[in-house]
Amino acid sequence: MVYFFLILVYNIRMVLIPLILRILSNPTANVFQKKLTKNFGSFFVNFITYGGLSLCMIPVILKLNFSGLPVEIWKYAITGGLFGALGNAFLVKALSLGDLSVLGPINSYKSVVAMFFGVFLLGEIPSIIGILAIGLIIWGSYFIFDTVEEKFSFGLLRRKDIIYRILALIFTALEALMIKQVIILSDVMTSFIFWAVFGFIFSGLFMLLKQEKFKLPDKKSSLQFIGLISMFGLMQITTNYVFENMNVSYALALFQLSSLINVIFGYKFFKEKHLIKKLIGTTIMIIGAVVIILGRG
């Protein structure tokens, strides 16, 4: 563990500013998403978000030599776009129904999901430390879910916001794997372009399938969309940069710090209650997630 800590410190030094921007931009984007879902459907919100980013990238797209890219990259880019459109739509839907300070910390369960799939797909048996880390995540989530009506029980799985958040967690985890492959086969900017364009295409298709209405946003909503597009784009470009320059396991561990910001933003912008209890629970969950991820790194 000391070895992992020393390597982690070295990696942080190399990507400190992008890492801080990523940790802050993710929950800020969540705030804008939650505000916009009061008036717009989840696929529509993502359609405008990805669309705005795609428009911003047109000058770069025109200069990109697509014919020089490996054929294999299209498989990962298209699949990543599909997973991203679904994952972010489920996230936006969850935010429209639930509290930011409850849904944000659930991201720590991503490491548990990865460990679960590792057992059945890769034959990886969790170590004692891994099992204890899962215990920490469950213990921390007890503090979080103790603030809702269902408490820490199976009744939580009947809540639509929790279901949508879990689906978002799974699809965005799969999306991250595809993004990493695109980065390996190209570079940070090319990966960002594919992410934005295919996210835009699939969000538009799902919007049509769900028959969500396309309506022009008013002045207030337009400013919120601009804020969302800016933060969402900043989140992804810094994520790509960190992935390129840092071990993905270490990066995912540090990204968990966004959960604390989510709890604070939920209290600040949406008057969500039980701040101290949620901060305690989130901190415990982050520790558990970091232990799992570094143990696998």
pLDDT digits (tens, 9 = 90+) for 224-271: 999 999 999 999 999 888 877 776 666 776 787 888 899 999 999 999
Q: Return the higher-pLDDT residue of 188 and 252.
A: 188
Q: Chain-wide mean pLDDT for the chain?
A: 85
Cα–Cα distance measured from residue 238 to residue 255, given in angstroms and rounded to the nearest whole number:
11
In this predicted model, what pLDDT tens digit does every residue of 111-154 receive, in sequence order?
A: 677 666 656 655 666 677 777 877 888 888 888 888 887 777 77
For residue range 8-36, what is the model confidence (pLDDT) as tens digits?
555 556 677 888 899 999 999 999 999 99
Residues near 275 by beta carbon (within 8 Å), at least 6 away in sequence: 101, 263, 264, 267
Which amino acid is it at 45?
V
Per-residue confidence at 94, pLDDT binned at 50, 70, 90? very high
- Residue count (the chain): 297
Q: What is the CA radius of gyration of the chain?
A: 19
The alpha helices in the chain, defined as continuous H runs, are 2-14, 16-36, 42-56, 58-63, 72-97, 100-103, 110-121, 128-145, 160-185, 188-209, 219-245, 248-255, 258-270, 275-296
3-class state of residue 104 by DSSP: helix
Place of tokens 């879902």: 37
Mean pLDDT (whole number) for 32-55: 94
Q: What is the pLDDT of residue 117?
A: 63
Give residues with Cβ within 8 angstroms of 80, minimum separation 6: 175, 178, 179, 181, 182, 194, 195, 198
- Residue identified by tokens 């800590």 is 5
